[in-house]
Amino acid sequence: MNPIRYPHPAEREDVIRPVPASHLANEISRLEARLRDHMAMRPDWRHLQARTVWAQDKALIEQDLLILRRQEMSRWHPVDGRTA
């Protein structure tokens, strides 16, 4: 089973660019589901290259998720709980 390959961060401007507030929750849940699926298909740990590619893909997904969660937090107002 070959791991899913995700593009390099420089090629993924759709995720790195700010996501509209109306789509943010959907994008976060989509990436969380992708991460769950990715974690379910762990490679054979005897093969170094498969482990390396799997770990790199996992890191890219987590990076996207972190970017979107930061966008979500930047829209939240700490005083009254509203979004910006």
Judge whether 4 lies within some domain: no
Model confidence at 33, pLDDT cuts 50, 70, 90, reads: very high
The total of other beta-carbon atoms located within 10 Å of residue 61's CB is 20
Q: How far apart are CA 27 and CA 24, in angstroms?
A: 5
Domain that holds residue 20: 15-75
Judge whether 44 lies within some domain: yes
* Global confidence as pTM: 0.64
Q: How far apart are CA 22 and CA 83, in angstroms?
A: 11
Judge whether 7 lies within some domain: no
Q: 34-79: per-residue pLDDT in tens?
A: 999 999 988 887 888 888 888 988 999 999 899 888 888 776 555 5
